């Protein structure tokens, strides 16, 4: 055993071997490298497990066949350890097929005892690969954590947006709605107390403008806070479809299957906002004359599909860094355990499909067809 010089790092090696002669061959092979190794031999599976429990090893060398067990039994023991160092088979009693099978299980490498002179390079190689794998695992873990944080932030952001929308809708209803109602009473009073033709003409124009303002405030409030969802998801999406058709002149056909499941409020809101955003995108970009909306909960999955017969969505548009509308829909779907599928064919339209698994429960979901 080499003593550790102050400027070198000692590699600790656990050697599972029942032959003292073979163990000495391994020791001499490592000594010839000039590197610093600490080599510990164990013969039994119990001692192997005990040493793993007591301390950390940088690499494990194992003969394949040992009294009463094989290296694969030791490999299974290793799987219960939080830290699993590289595991190298160093044996003369194993065929190539068995070695390949062991490596498929996850064993780091295989070296025949006749090639013990290659042991040090083999150890260096498996340690390098082990370091790369650990770095990749750490990166994957960090990426998963970042994605989870992003999803949580997106969920928080959407909840905050909905709260702000509800607050603005209440202000429109209480302040602007109240003011417009007062103006309507005043205009009616003026109409009853004047007979001047010019004044009556202006009053009539003012009433028309007031009616438009009231309709606009009602529409804005419904967009901000879809109270219509209290009537059911199907009714709310149907209202969106009808309103979209009136506003844009695009024929919009809505169909909802006969359903019997209760849709959670959070899922209803996600589906409603998805339909709303999809229709907004269609009005801006699709250049179409027909929109079909299908809503169903077949096989326990809520499915909302919005498709058009327009010019489609190009790959470049989907890949734009600032295509926040589509990305927002995808992130919103994730907040309720759902996912988004987007299909597009040039000059043949596009389809956006929201799918959300539903909990097993009974209830009633309004179904409307148009």
* Residue range 253-297, pLDDT digits in tens: 999 986 667 888 889 989 998 999 999 989 988 889 999 999 998
Q: Is residue 255 part of a domain?
A: yes
| 131-158: average pLDDT | 83
Q: Is residue 3 part of a domain?
A: no
pLDDT at 1: 41
Residues 123 and 256 placed together within one structural domain of the fold: no
Q: Does the pLDDT value for residue 96 go beyond 50?
A: yes
Q: What is the pLDDT confidence band of residue 224, given thresholds at 50, 70 and 90?
A: confident
Residues 249 and 370 placed together within one structural domain of the fold: yes
Taking alpha carbons only, the member of 90, 110, 92 closest to residue 100 is 110
Residues 237 and 133 placed together within one structural domain of the fold: no
Report the chain's mean pLDDT, rounded to a whole number. 84
Domain housing 341:
232-370
pLDDT at 316: 62
Residues 16 and 125 placed together within one structural domain of the fold: yes
Q: Is residue 224 part of a domain?
A: no
Q: Would you say the C-alpha torsion 31, 32, 37, 42 has a positive or negative sign?
A: negative
pLDDT at 319: 56
Q: What is the pLDDT confidence band of residue 83, given thresholds at 50, 70 and 90?
A: confident
pLDDT at 259: 60
Q: What is the pLDDT confidence band of residue 23, given thresholds at 50, 70 and 90?
A: very high
Q: Does the pLDDT value for residue 364 go beyond 60?
A: no
Q: What is the pLDDT of residues 148-187, one digit of tens each?
A: 787 777 767 767 777 777 778 777 877 887 888 888 888 8
Q: What is the CATH number of the domain that holds 338?
A: 3.30.565.10
Q: What is the pLDDT of residues 342-357, one digit of tens each?
A: 888 766 789 999 999 9
Identify the helix (H) or strand (E) that includes residue 62. strand 59-62
pLDDT at 320: 59
Q: Does the pLDDT value for residue 300 go beyond 50?
A: yes
Per-residue CA distances from 46 to 51, 55, 69, 70, 199 (Å): 9, 15, 11, 13, 104
pLDDT at 167: 77
Helix 265-281 and helix 324-334, axial crossing angle in degrees, nearest 10: 170
Q: Which of 84, 108, 137 lies at the terminal end of a domain, its last residue?
A: 137
Q: Is 341 left (phi over 0), alpha (psi -120 to 50) or beta?
A: beta
| 322-337: average pLDDT | 76
| 94-104: average pLDDT | 81
Residues 362 and 253 placed together within one structural domain of the fold: yes
Residues 119 and 243 placed together within one structural domain of the fold: no
Q: Does the pLDDT value for residue 237 go beyond 90?
A: yes
Q: What is the CATH number of the domain that holds 89?
A: 3.40.50.2300
Q: Does the pLDDT value for residue 370 go beyond 70?
A: no
pLDDT at 57: 94
Q: Is residue 156 part of a domain?
A: no
Residues 127 and 259 placed together within one structural domain of the fold: no
Q: Is residue 273 part of a domain?
A: yes
Q: Is residue 197 part of a domain?
A: no
Residues 267 and 370 placed together within one structural domain of the fold: yes
> Bridge-partner residues for 307, per DSSP?
292, 351
Q: Which of 137, 157, 173 lies at the terminal end of a domain, its last residue?
A: 137
Residues 367 and 261 placed together within one structural domain of the fold: yes
pLDDT at 2: 44
Per-residue CA distances from 61 to 9, 12, 29, 232 (Å): 19, 11, 13, 66
The model scores a pTM over 0.85: no
pLDDT at 77: 93
Q: Does the pLDDT value for residue 74 go beyond 90?
A: yes
Q: What is the pLDDT confidence band of residue 3, given thresholds at 50, 70 and 90?
A: very low
Identify the helix (H) or strand (E) that includes residue 37. strand 37-42
Q: Is residue 323 part of a domain?
A: yes
| 135-149: average pLDDT | 87
| 109-122: average pLDDT | 89
Q: Is residue 182 part of a domain?
A: no
Residues 369 and 247 placed together within one structural domain of the fold: yes
- Residues 16 and 71: beta-carbon distance below 8 Å: yes
Q: How many domains does the chain have?
A: 2
Q: Which of 119, 137, 155 lies at the terminal end of a domain, its last residue?
A: 137
């Amino acid at each position: 055993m080499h003593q550790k010089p102050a400027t070198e790092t000692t590699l600790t090696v656990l050697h599972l071997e029942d032959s003292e002669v073979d163990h000495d061959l391994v020791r001499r092979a490592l000594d010839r490298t000039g590197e610093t190794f600490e080599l510990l031999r164990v013969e039994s599976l119990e001692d192997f497990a005990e040493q793993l429990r007591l301390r950390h090893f940088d690499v494990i060398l194992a003969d394949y066949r040992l009294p009463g067990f094989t290296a694969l039994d030791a490999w299974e023991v290793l799987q219960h350890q939080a830290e699993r160092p590289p595991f190298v088979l160093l044996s003369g009693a194993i065929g190539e097929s068995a070695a390949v099978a062991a490596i498929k299980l996850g064993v780091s490498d295989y070296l025949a005892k006749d090639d013990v002179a290659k042991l040090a390079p083999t150890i260096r190689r498996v340690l390098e690969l082990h370091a790369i794998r650990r770095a990749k695992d750490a990166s994957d873990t960090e990426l998963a954590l970042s994605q989870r944080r992003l999803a949580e932030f997106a969920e928080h952001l959407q909840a905050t947006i909905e709260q702000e929308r509800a607050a603005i809708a209440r202000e429109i209803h209480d302040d602007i709605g109240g003011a417009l109602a007062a103006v309507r009473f005043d205009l009616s009073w003026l109409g009853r107390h004047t007979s001047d033709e010019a004044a009556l003409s202006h009053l009539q124009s003012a009433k028309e403008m007031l009616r438009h303002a009231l309709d606009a405030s009602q529409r804005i409030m419904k967009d901000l806070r879809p109270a219509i969802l209290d009537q059911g998801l199907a009714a709310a999406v149907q209202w969106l479809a009808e309103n979209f058709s009136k506003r844009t002149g695009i024929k919009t056909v809505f169909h909802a299957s006969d359903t019997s499941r209760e849709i959670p409020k959070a899922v209803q809101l996600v589906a409603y906002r998805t339909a709303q955003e999809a229709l907004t995108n269609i009005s801006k970009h699709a250049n179409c004359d027909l929109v079909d909306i299908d809503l169903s909960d077949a096989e326990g999955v809520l499915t909302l599909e919005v498709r058009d017969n327009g010019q489609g969505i190009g790959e470049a548009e989907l890949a734009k860094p600032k295509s926040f509308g589509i990305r927002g829909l995808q992130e919103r779907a994730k907040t309720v355990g759902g996912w988004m599928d987007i299909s597009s064919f040039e000059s043949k339209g596009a389809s956006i499909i929201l799918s959300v698994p539903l909990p097993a429960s009974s209830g009633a979901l309004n179904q409307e067809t148009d």
